[in-house]
Structure 1
Amino acid sequence: MRRHPPRHPRQQAEHRQRRLLRRVARPRRTAHGPQLRRPHGRPSLNEPFGMVYLEAMSCGTPPIATATGGPARTITPNGPHATGWLVAPDNAAALADTLVAAVTDASERKRRSDNSRTHVHTTYSWTTTADRYLAAYDHAIQH
């Protein structure tokens, strides 16, 4: 039995938001494994580092996170090199607005997707990490 959308404007808006969120969370398969169809939203009140955001960005999935802890240091929310979106913690309205903006603007998602993949591969790759360790060891040996 098919359910009809509600008639009251407030209920219609809530119905559209629920449908939108179901569409955002539906995974799809890619050559690199499962990837979200839309930006990766994981708002957290306290995320010390945020490995899940880096993993999402390495797949080209721009994250939506709260501006706390690790995400505030690893996600660039503005400018030409933006890699995702940051929202204030405990601000449901800002989170909803950001989700809607991220889902409805395909060109911005693509730009942030490309930026996020590049950022992770140049900043957190094994080669870059190994070079940093070697530099730290060289510095420790010389001093």
Structure 2
Amino acid sequence: MKISALVQSSAGHHEVTLRTDGHIQALAVPPRPSGVGSGVNGGELLFLALATCYCNDVYREAAKRGLTVERVEVEVSGDFGAEGEPARNVTYRVRVAAPHDEAEVQALLLHTDRVAEIQNTLRVGVPVTLTDVQIERR
């Protein structure tokens, strides 16, 4: 699966486009009140990615096990320090409604934590590389 995210930002304009294997969709993210940049910060979006991944994976892994999940709530939190410092104390909690034995649902949630791709990406510390810089002169 090939995924990309594109942010286009200028004065009073902020556009986010996501692409997964050719499927393109827009995500509504307003510009900052100052008019330039994103109205949400990267830490918020990173934590949203963690929460979204785990939520979706709970449903995926439940289906594989023949379990019904009626509702999933995931909250991710952590701390950011000074500019340039990575996040610290990143934790998440989940609340699930499911009509199954508690031990069975607990096993599902622990398994999902082990296979959640975004969580595992951060856990192994994947390199992120700047590959191209282009400058327009106006």
**What is the TM-score when the length of structure 2 is the normalising length?**
0.27
**By percentage of residues, which structure has more helix?**
1
**By percentage of residues, which structure has more strand?**
2
Q: Higher relative contact order by CA 8 Å / sep ≥ 6: 1 or 2?
A: 1
